[in-house]
Amino acid sequence: MRILFLSFYYPPDLSAGSFRSVALVRALLERLPQDAHIDVITTLPNRYSTFSSEAPVREEHPRLTVHRVALPAHKSGMVDQSKGFLTYARGALALCKGKRYDLVYATSGRLLSASLGALLARRHGAPLYLDIRDIFVDTMKDVLPRKMAWAIKPLLSALERWTVGSARRVNLVSPGFLPYFEARYPGRDWALFSNGIDEEFLLDVEPASESAQFDPPPTSERVLDVVYAGNMGEGQGLHAILPALARRFQGRLHFRLVGDGGRRAQLEQALTDAGCDNVTLLDPVKRTELIELYRAADVLFLHLNDYPAFKKVLPSKLFEYAALGKPVWAGVGGYAARFVEEHIDNAAVFAPCDVDDAARAFEALNPVTRARPDFVARFRRDVIMARMSRDVLSIPGDTQNKETD
């Protein structure tokens, strides 16, 4: 059996899709027979221009080959991202030429990545398992200029229908996506394998002694350390809340923001204009360093912009935040807000972009570190990916059964 595995991001790149993909590859290899092989086609590390990590163009392991396509230098704009994707697509088509696959798996944070999987599955006569991590057609009206979104929506809607219709099985990373897809594609059965907690974050939530689970409460005089790590784009909307929020908490909180993205420059300028001296911006770091930043923090911060489409998503960051036992301060709405309130204790949710509500929510937090063993047991990534790998590998068998019926 030979599987084509398409993921635009893959380690050592820093991305939620990267971490998800490598976990599923490990789970698939544990389940596949010895004569099976997985071909991963991804890109050389390119998520952030401020983070560089060396990786080979071709990487061989037992039963696994990782091919990395080199992309031209690009920024966060749509034009540059489109050029990068076209380079990736051409590379994938060339690498697949003359090969035969029994199954194509494509994980997609953007519609075009999913459509590439559909194209290659059709070319190879193989069933497609599609993993959808974002709803681009639904999101674009919020993150693109209005005229551009209006002009391209019919084309992208048609492309989405063709892509989803090409898939034997579709997984939605957030149950919040269900209403959108059920309305557009009635009668389909959807898988729901979410993101989860990676092994690196499990080490800090399984202490041997009860006393290790708690930090002493900070004194009221100490300035608390609030950490955010991740993308700084339009979707996160940090530029829309942090300047005013940081000013509100001057003398009480210090914010450390780790990452990069299309709105970082705007965020920096807004912080300067607001006269904030309690915010430090740091470039992206490797996960080992990031965990140390998390562990040193008093509170972990999360925010999504106030757009209707983001009420459907479930940020992967919530899993690592909750796993470390830190108080979680989250500006999210919709499904993500319900998830936090149902599953994460010592977490405070506020309305996105609402400084007054954020201040109210912060006062409800207890700034202590406390393990969340029930959450960890339920949302371990390895457990979720083990179940997902069974679902993925059921597809070729289902296809063969249908062909012989």
Q: For residue range 25-54, what is the model confidence (pLDDT) as tens digits?
A: 999 999 999 999 999 999 998 765 555 567
Residue 131: name the closest of 259, 236, 49, 27 by CA: 27
245 shares a domain with 111: no
Q: Report the pLDDT value the prediction gives residue 203, as an integer from 0 to 100.
A: 64
> Does the structure show a pLDDT above 90 at 219?
no
374 shares a domain with 391: no
Q: Which of 181-195, 243-257, 296-310, 390-404 is predicted least confidently?
A: 390-404
Contact 17, 230 (CB under 8 A): no
Domain limits at 153? 2-196+381-404
CA angle 80, 81, 82 (to 5 degrees): 90
Burial letters 344-383, b for 16+ CB under 10 A, else e: bebbbbbbbbebeebeebbeebebbbebbeebbeebbbee
290 shares a domain with 153: no
186 shares a domain with 87: yes
Residue 198: name the closest of 301, 134, 69, 291 by CA: 291
Residues 77 and 89: their CA atoms lie apart, in Å, by: 18
Residues 130 and 167: their CA atoms lie apart, in Å, by: 6
> Does the structure show a pLDDT above 90 at 318?
yes
141 shares a domain with 111: yes
Pairing of strands 64-69, 58-61: antiparallel
Residues 159 and 111: their CA atoms lie apart, in Å, by: 8
Q: Percentage of the chain with pLDDT > 70?
A: 90
Query: Helix crossing, 146-166 with 136-143: angle to 10°?
Result: 170
59 shares a domain with 95: yes
Q: Which residue has the higher pLDDT, 231 or 136?
A: 231
Residues 226 and 297: their CA atoms lie apart, in Å, by: 6
Give me the number of domains the chain comprises.
Answer: 2
* pLDDT band, very low/low/confident/very high, at 336 (cuts 50, 70, 90): very high
95 shares a domain with 170: yes
Average pLDDT of the residues in 88-107: 96
Contact 182, 176 (CB under 8 A): no
CATH of the domain at 281: 3.40.50.2000
Average pLDDT of the residues in 344-370: 96
* pLDDT band, very low/low/confident/very high, at 74 (cuts 50, 70, 90): low
137 shares a domain with 7: yes
349 shares a domain with 228: yes
Q: What pTM value is reported for the model?
A: 0.89
Residue 22: name the closest of 289, 373, 287, 318 by CA: 287
Average pLDDT of the residues in 259-270: 94
232 shares a domain with 173: no
158 shares a domain with 54: yes
Contact 79, 144 (CB under 8 A): no
Contact 74, 46 (CB under 8 A): yes
192 shares a domain with 46: yes
Q: Which of 48-57, 247-256, 346-355, 381-390 is predicted least confidently?
A: 48-57
* pLDDT band, very low/low/confident/very high, at 144 (cuts 50, 70, 90): confident
Average pLDDT of the residues in 244-269: 95
* Alpha helix stretches (DSSP H) within 52-198: 78-96, 111-124, 136-143, 146-166, 178-184
